[in-house]
Amino acid sequence: MKVGVHKGDPKSLEIKSAVVFVYENDFKTLSRLGRGISTKVKRALELEGFKGKEGQIERIPLPRQRVEIVYVVGLGDKKKVNTDTFRRVSALAIKRIKRDKVEKVLFVLPRGTKNKPFQAVAEGVVLGSYSFDKYKEKKEEERFEVKEVLIQDVDKEAVNRGVVIAEAQNYARDLVNEPGNVINPITLAEEAKKLAKEHKLQCKVYDEKQIQDMEMLALWSVGKGSATPPRLIHLTYKPKGKAKDRIVLVGKGLTFDSGGLNIKPGDYMRTMKMDKSGACAVLGIMKVIAQLKPNVEVHGIIGAAENMPSGTAYRPDDIIRAKNGKHIEIDNTDAEGRVTLADVLSYASELKPSRIIDMATLTGACMVALGEYTAGLFTNSEDFAEEIKEVAKETGERVWELPMDDDRLRKKIKKGPADVVNTGGRYGGAITAAMFLEEFVGEGIKWVHLDIAGPAWSKEDYGYYTQGGTGFGVRTCVEYIMRLDK
């Protein structure tokens, strides 16, 4: 699908279908199609009782008119509309367009749109058109795709940027949705190499022997129970000139999580292909950064493993030495993500970045606390957290900060014979998991941990998402990195 821009009078464009965005009880945008069409559409809306509430879509056929079909899409109360509103309704519109098998369409936005959310409209169009159906046999007539979307009188650069970001998020969604027999630590590493070659990134992949030689015994221990050994993946983007900053993105890459010897019940093992969502988001972000080329040095680091039960699997009561020298006592092998990230965060810290963002489908406890649509945010730097929260409001990726200052909770991961234990009990589980990770972040480095266990996977279609992987984190991290270049 091509997403572009049309400049000038919409009446000069030979196009049979148009999508017009209107505010609730304010249909001024229709006038941009011409008085004759506007009058007819308004009459039809009155007959249908259309008000323009957010997400309302009314299809108005116009026989023998220059524009044969007008889709009127409600934005809702003008005072409450924000950037993500445009992203959501654009996605809903393209889903309807696709369902109606419209090949080419013009999107018309209200004049003087507040905040000029042109990038968000492009993102919504691309995200809303996503489907993962490569394993379904489909008849030719079921393979319909919208060929072209033109957006009236908007900034071309913003639209192009939105397309690049959304396509990378869809790329991350594809990887999340791939099953464990397709994407494992080795094939994920191959995908990273392919991405690096295509976009001229540096890429280094460390195999299981090198991982052990580097004393990354936590990552190795999690992966050694599987017939497919673990991998450490390191992608690097460096600008041509002197970089303004250096940031590291860390992704949890559990390509499948059975729970290990503390094996999950069958119902909880389903969808565990999504336990690599953090890693897939990192790959998506690096894909964007390579194209947008900010003057910021960006590293994407992934600990990839498969957590399986076998005679070689790591065990409860094992004590493992991590890369930074701290010892981890294993209480539960199903708390493997934080053990994996212990080594990856230690490795990332050695790069001496100013900031680290890690993304991980880490705890069910975070979903209990915040629901399925919001990521938990944890930090050692309040100003860094505030910056991420501000960006997330623009990108529509919900985050909520949880506290890290309860010393009584911290004691729960300090008990036992080792420096730290990999679980802190049932209560406050998302917080104690974050406290565990903090033990492996280098001194003086600002760090944000995003527990994306809830929003990384959707059980339903809503907004610009469909069932399955969401690619959560791509938009927020990209936007944050681009702001570092300002």
Ranges of H-type helices in 70-215: 83-99, 118-128, 156-177, 185-199, 208-213
Tell me if residue 158 falls in helix, strand or coil.
helix
d(CA 334, CA 331): 9
Residue 251 CA to residue 281 CA, distance in Å, equals 7
Helix (H) and strand (E) counts for the chain?
Answer: 15, 19
Are 13 and 65 a contacting pair, CB within 8 Å?
A: no
DSSP assignment of 355-411: EEEEEE---HHHHHHH-SS-EEEEES-HHHHHHHHHHHHHHT--EEE-----HHHHH
What's the rounded Cα separation, in Å, for the pair 248 and 231?
A: 18
Catalytic residues: 264, 338
The DSSP secondary-structure symbol of 442 reads: P
At 458, list the tokens: 């959707």
Q: What are the structure tokens assigned to 176, written together?
A: 């999340």
Which residues does residue 400 pair with via DSSP β-bridges, in sequence order? 376
Look-up: residue for tokens 């008849």?
A: 139
Residues 6+ apart with CB under 8 A from 37: 30, 62, 65, 66, 67, 70
Structure tokens at 140: 């030719």
Number of residues in the chain: 486
- Which is nearest to 45 in space by CA: 65, 67, 64, 26? 26
Q: Closest Cα to residue 334, out of 359, 351, 300, 309?
A: 309
CB neighbours of 174 closer than 8 A, spacing ≥ 6?
A: 132, 469
